[in-house]
Structure 1
Amino acid sequence: MIKQQTDLFPDEMWVTNVQVATVWTSPESARAVDTAGLSNPTNIDTWIANLTHEAKLALCDENRVQSQLLYGEPVLIDEIKEEWAKVVIPSQPSKKDERGYPGWVPLKQLAQVKKGEWKSDLTVAITSDKAWLTSGEGEKLMKLSYMTLLPVEEIQKEKVKVKTPQGFGYIHTSSTKVFTTSLGKEKGTGKEIVEAGEPFLELSYFWGGMSSFGYDCSGLAYAAHKANGYQIPRDAGDQAASGKKVAFDELLPGDLIFFAYEEGKGKLHHVGIFYGNGKMLHSPQTGKGIEIITLEGTKYEKELCAACRYWHENEEY
């Protein structure tokens, strides 16, 4: 169930203060070519567009990037080192830290808010590919990613008034879904998990990507589940370990399928969403876009190593 888990945070809590904050392995991991993704405000479109194929590959191959945060996503800060903050992300479960996913973020991409003022009975989720946060006069302030969650101040006829680290903003209702914060987002079916991924077909793969500006394989699986009320681990290995195991001959749309080197016997390296009829929806690798493929006859058929399920139709499951 996707909730804003403010109980985990101190009275003065930290939240993400840019459209997407990239979580780096260390403060030294970021490069000059990453400036548009390190600033405040960020311009994620420009950053990704200006990266060469080699520069994108290096984010993975040189172990530079760990994950990403969306606007308003809360973090715990363990350490501040000059202009960087070592954070833990409770909304992204990980075996790396029992509290959540760890990494480093530029301190200027975070902001402190008072927990009592930040909390709200209602939360809004962005359900379109992207949506503009605007001022009360309609001025475009920030382009926000799919599945950005923000506390609701007021529901108006055509807009939702939301709390942000900079004060109040507005998002058009056509791009949103409002849910009760304490209950979390309504849980969807496996079919709805598949449907959550379909709008992103052809979106370019981005290592560490957790936003609709670019997903990696496990980021896409995470977002599709988040859209349907399920909080799953952030990384593919943790996703495989935590879900309900499913036999390959019992796969249903929305299940996660995993792949390992050495024809399924080596290190797990990839996850896809089972689409049905022997197909999967996945974000494959740097240089390629999200796609639906038939497994038969591909390397993935030989590398298939595990499958699991997080979704269910019955609340008592």
Structure 2
Amino acid sequence: MELQPGHEALVRVPVATLWAAPEAVRPVDHPALADAPDIAAWIAGMDRDQRVGECVLSQLLLGERVLVTEVRADGWVHVVALEQPAGKLDHRGYPGWLPAAQLTPAPETPSTAPLVVDAALTALRSAPDGPVAVPAVVLGTRLTPAGRPVGGWRPVHVPGRADPLWAPEGDVVPLPTERPEAKEVLAVAERLRDLVYIWGGVSSHGIDCSGLVHLSWRRYGVTLPRDADDQAEATTPLAPGEERPGDLYFFARPGRRIHHIGIVSSEPHGEVRRMVHACYIQRGVVEERLPPDREATLVAAHRVV
């Protein structure tokens, strides 16, 4: 079955990168464009400046749903990422381009995915403790169980594959049925400290500021918008000083829209505020006291409710 405009598809690779346009990709991006993309090699092959190229819009994880809106003869498809809200761009989700080979048509009957990857990275195998079939499946990936665990391995369904694959039982956990406490979400973000900053990144290979927030909540089954300004609109403002660990700080320059977001990492003490964030300047995920330039552009604290 082929991909068709107006129909849904699923991501069939561990991490698929969403591009601004097929013509925007660079020679350094080739590892991310393969039928089986090597995101770690892609990131390792870029220099400091290439990692913030705006040709990348976002990333999608294994099993994530998209709506196909255009199919090109050269192997590219335009999609809307249905699990990444982006109200200012498209009311249906985040739009962009993907290589068609990284997708598979969605089944007519959607499956539930009550498991989520809790390890930073895991590998899916063709049999319990067998050969690796899908390497580098990332934190926050949702999976559908395919039966009972066997000897410390759990069978799961994977889009585009007829037979189940096997995940280490300790690397996947049930998706919570209740909203998590903010401190639990903060703990996910803190596990990603020192991760490299990648513009548009939404994975435990590399990530950007709003991607860190999106992925940390996604781990607990909560869908937040993809971009920082949309995340501000989807959350509840707090009075100054009311923020608590796990809440969100938003930053904007005078007269401009929100350009940065961080996760509050400790209660404020006087003028001292701290956060975990994917820092464009430092090119990585850090936990720190807000430096003067951040204090000067802090415009709000919000809570996910």
User: Normalising by the residue count of structure 2, what TM-score does the alignment of the two structures yield?
Assistant: 0.90
How far did 1:12 drift?
6.7
Are positions 1:237 and 2:229 aligned together? yes
CA RMSD after TM alignment: 1.9
1 CA distance for matches of 2:264 and 2:232? 13
2 CA distance for matches of 1:247 and 1:29? 42
How many pairs were matched up?
289
Are positions 1:109 and 2:102 aligned together? yes
Q: Could you say what secondary structure the match of 2:232 adopts? A: helix
2 CA distance for matches of 1:156 and 1:11? 37
1 CA distance for matches of 2:224 and 2:303? 10
Where does residue 7 of structure 1 map in the other structure? Answer: none
Are positions 1:224 and 2:210 aligned together? no
Aligned equivalent of 1:269, options 259, 266, 271? 259
Gaps of 5+ in 2: 268-272
Q: Could you say what secondary structure the match of 2:284 adopts? A: coil
Q: Could you say what secondary structure the match of 1:230 adopts? A: coil
1 CA distance for matches of 2:174 and 2:147? 11
Where does residue 155 of structure 1 map in the other structure? Answer: 148
- Contact preservation (8 Å) 1:136, 1:170: yes
2 CA distance for matches of 1:286 and 1:259? 14
- Contact preservation (8 Å) 1:284, 1:290: yes
Q: Could you say what secondary structure the match of 1:203 adopts? A: coil
Where does residue 139 of structure 1 map in the other structure? Answer: 131
Where does residue 99 of structure 1 map in the other structure? Answer: 92
2 CA distance for matches of 1:100 and 1:94? 5
Aligned equivalent of 1:22, options 6, 17, 20? 17
How far did 1:270 drift?
0.3
Aligned equivalent of 2:288, options 282, 285, 293? 293
How far did 1:228 drift?
2.5
Gaps of 5+ in 1: 1-9, 312-317
1 CA distance for matches of 2:85 and 2:250? 18
Where does residue 283 of structure 1 map in the other structure? Answer: 278
How far did 1:28 drift?
0.9
Where does residue 270 of structure 2 map in the other structure? Answer: none
2 CA distance for matches of 1:39 and 1:31? 13
* 1:20-58 Cα shifts (integer Å, max 9, x gaps): 11000111111221010000111111010001223223x
* 1:292-311 Cα shifts (integer Å, max 9, x gaps): 1112x421111101221114
Where does residue 67 of structure 1 map in the other structure? Answer: 58
Higher helix share: 1
Where does residue 172 of structure 1 map in the other structure? Answer: 168
Q: Using the aligned pairs only, state the percent identity.
A: 33
Letter matched to residue 213 of structure 2: A
2 CA distance for matches of 1:203 and 1:222? 15
